[in-house]
Structure formats: structure tokens, C-alpha cells
Amino acid sequence: MPSATPSSPPRIVLGVAGGIAAYKAVDLLRRLRALDYHVAPILTPDATRFVGTVTFSALASEPARTSLYGDAVTPIPHTYLAQHCDLIVVAPATAHLIARYAHGLADDLLCATLLATRAPVVLCPAMHTEMWEQPSVQENLATLRRRGVLVLGPVAGALAGGDEGAGRMVEPEEIVHAVKAVLGGDRGPLSGRHVLVSAGGTREAIDPVRVIANRSSGRQGYAIATVAARLGARVTLVTTLERALALDVTRAVDVVRVESAEELLDAMTAHQREADVVIMAAAVADFRVVASEHKLKRSQGVPTLQLEPTPDVLAALVGARVAGQVVVGFAAETTDVETHAREKLVKKDVDLLVVNDVSAPGVGFEHETNEVLILGRDGEGERVSLRSKEGVAEVILARVASLLTQGAP
């Protein structure tokens, strides 16, 4: 099963897990074959309790596989399938399959193939409502989304046993639509876009040893980079952090390391022209010390530190903005938060301003959570309640995607 060439049809691995919605996978297979896609089915052992391999083999481009172990022709089927496909679709994806995939288990052919591939993966969850709403299921899906997996559905509707609720697998027609989009290069609302993000707090030298810094952890900027990559963007992350925060989508994120406000400005302006979106999440020092060339000695007494202003990075980026580019600024406040934010919105001339009260519990620096107010050019505000920083990033980037669709000024 060699991967597709410009003259050959796309090659898809269709994974079927053990749920009642497995019967819909037969219709999905038929629709994919009608588009002349090459489809190789993998059924989990539990799936065969609902559907038969003979049916899939008859309709597919090659016989359905169920065993982790190969034969003389294909001795290692999971690496063969994983390396020679353009897309993997799992429909239905049960809670059990999702958990094993998220935790890196490779105890059957489908999970082993998922772990071995670098092709896009589309999961179509299907399960009972109570299972869908379990925090463990949602956490496993959040992990997979961070790693770039596309999750389609589920929807509300009739379930097995006569119940109604969320958990019904999306219909094959919708899955085919998503397959076409992914094969066309679509990975989400930011597909084909370049997002430039800054993160962390700048450090300004006092002498060759000491610095003036701030309390920014960089977590919100890293969350934006992660979510932007998950939504299909190519991301450049300019960061002041020496330690690497978790980036599960490193193949889609180019990391540029800087330290001072001056270095941050240079790096951001160097990448700005090719960016569709510029997000200034970094906390930039307003002042820097006129640094000593040599280490200051305690024996010399208390030094007098002369301060001078640092470059206004956000103002420079707004001034150099290219047509259609969306610029997002951040503001950390402790008093009169909304008043100061609205003043900054006008002064900085950004498309969106994200402001938070860093004195509030669980908000801002070093916290895993954040709570923000997002202001647009029209002055309308959207309050985002306390949640994970990735959750905040999702709201910010939804606004950004909307502005890109409309065409930013």
C-alpha cells in the first residue's frame, strides 16, 4: 500500500472499533470507495462482534485486517499501514479506543497503527451519553487534540437501547466531507495561516550576571501556540523561556529563543511580514538598566541603577502591520482593569486586546488557569470565565479566525 502520488488516489486506513455504530462504517467505506479512494480497513477484535470482516474485505481496496501479527507478504502490518497512508479515520472511536490511543497502548493492530503513523488522524467518537460526559473521556480527547488529532462529533440523537442524548456518531456523509477537507490540506480554521506568537517575560541585563525580570510564566503564550497549531496553523513562537513548556505539536511550531525586549522586537519584526496573525502575549519590560560591562561587586557599595525605556514592541508591530494582518495585544492590570484596557485598546490600535487582572485568584502569572476580557475594535467586550489557559486560547483564536474570514483592516 504505497502512499499516494499526484496520479494515484489518496490512501486511507479505516479503523473500526467495537461499538454498535460500527455498522455505519460499512456505509462510510462504500462512500469512500465511490470517490475512488484506496481504503484499507482495520477492525479491532471487539468490532468483529458487531460487523464482519468479509463485508469490509468485499467492499474495500484490500482485505480487512484484524491481527497485530503479519504474514510473509506483510510481516509488520502496523508500520506498513502507518507509513503508507495519507489519512487514518476511526469510525466509531469508542471510549476504550480513545483511552488506549491517548495513553500510548499498542495492544492491537489499530492502536499500533495509530501510534506509528505521521499521517493526519480523524476520530469519530461514539458512545453512550454518560460515558461521553465522563471527565476521563474528555481529558483523553483533550490530550489527543493537543497532539493534532482531529475529533469529529459526536452529535445528539438516538442511541442504542432507546435512549436519546449526546454520543451518537456523526453520519458517514459528514465524515466524507471532513475527509475531503483534510486530504485537501485543511486541518482546522487556521489552516494555511502563519501565526506569530510571543511568550514569557523579557529579562534586561543589570550586569553580565544579573537581570531585571517579571513574573510571566509564558504559559498563556505557549497555550496559544499549541492551540493554533492544532487548528492547522504554521506557528512561530518567540519565547524568552529557557525551559521548554509542553508543546505536543512541535512539528508545527518553530521556536525562536530571545531574552531582552530588544531581541524580542528584532525576532518579531523579522517574522512579521510573512505572518497572517501576530499575537503579543509576552510580558515586555517597560524599562531596562543601563547595564554595567562588569559584574557589580558588593564591596563597591549599593549601586545606582539608571533606567531607560525599552522599545514598545507592540507599537512597532502595529506600525509595520501588513494588509489583512490581525494583531492581538495583551494587557496585565491590577486596578481599574477595564478602564485601563480600553485606553490601551485605542492607544495601541490593535484588532483585539486581551486583558486580565493578575491580582485575581487563579489568574495570570504562574497559574494553570486564566480569566480574561477580550476587547475588539468596536469596543465590545467578551468576558472569558476562569478556565485552563488552553481554554482561553481557544476563545482568542476563534475570534482571530473570525477576523481573518472577515478580512482584518
Asked if 139 contacts 125 with a C-beta cutoff of 8 angstroms, the reply is no
Residue 338: strand, helix, or coil: helix
> What CATH fold (topology level) applies to the domain 194-406?
Rossmann fold (3.40.50)
Q: Do domains 11-183 and 194-406 have the same CATH topology?
A: yes
**Per the confidence metrics, is the pTM higher than 0.75?**
no
Q: Is 214 a catalytic residue?
A: yes
**DSSP character string of 240-284:** --SSPPP-TTGGGEEEEE--SHHHHHHHHHHHHTT-SEEEE-SB-
Q: How far apart are CA 87 and CA 209, in angstroms?
A: 51
The whole-angstrom separation of Cα 132 and Cα 134 is: 6
Q: What is the pLDDT of residue 5?
A: 54
Per-residue pLDDT, 250: 56
Going residue by residue through the chain, which has 409 residues, state the pLDDT in tens, using 9 for 90 and above: 555 555 689 999 999 999 999 999 999 999 999 999 999 999 999 999 999 999 999 999 999 999 999 887 788 889 999 999 999 999 999 999 999 999 999 999 999 999 999 888 999 999 999 989 999 999 898 888 877 788 888 888 877 777 778 889 999 999 999 999 888 877 778 888 999 999 998 888 888 778 777 777 888 999 999 889 888 899 999 998 866 555 555 556 899 999 999 999 999 999 999 999 999 999 888 888 877 777 778 888 888 888 888 899 999 999 999 989 999 999 888 788 888 889 889 899 999 999 988 778 777 777 889 999 999 988 888 999 998 888 899 899 989 998 998 765 5
Could you tell me the three cell numbers for 71? 504474514
Choosing from 140, 214, 356, 370, the catalytic residue is: 214
φ and ψ at 10, to 5 degrees? Answer: -60, 150
Bridge partners of 369, per DSSP, are 388
Q: What is the dihedral of CA 213, 214, 216, 218, to 10 degrees?
A: -20
Q: How far apart are CA 395 and CA 380, in angstroms?
A: 15
The pLDDT, as a whole number, for residue 124 is: 95
Whose grid coordinates read 496520479? Answer: 7
The topology (CATH level 3) of 11-183 is Rossmann fold (3.40.50)
Is residue 173 classed exposed, middle or buried when 0-12, 13-18 and 19+ CB atoms within 10 A define those classes? exposed
Q: Which parts of 271-368 are beta strand (E)?
A: 277-280, 287-289, 307-309, 326-333, 352-357
Determine the distance from the C-alpha atom of residue 308 to the mean position of all C-alpha atoms in its chain, rounded to a whole number.
Answer: 38
> pLDDT value at position 156?
85
The ranges assigned to domains in the chain are 11-183, 194-406
Q: What's residue 320's pLDDT?
A: 94
pLDDT of residue 292: 72
Other beta carbons within 10 angstroms of residue 56's beta carbon come to 27
CA distance linking residue 83 with residue 1, whole number of Å: 9
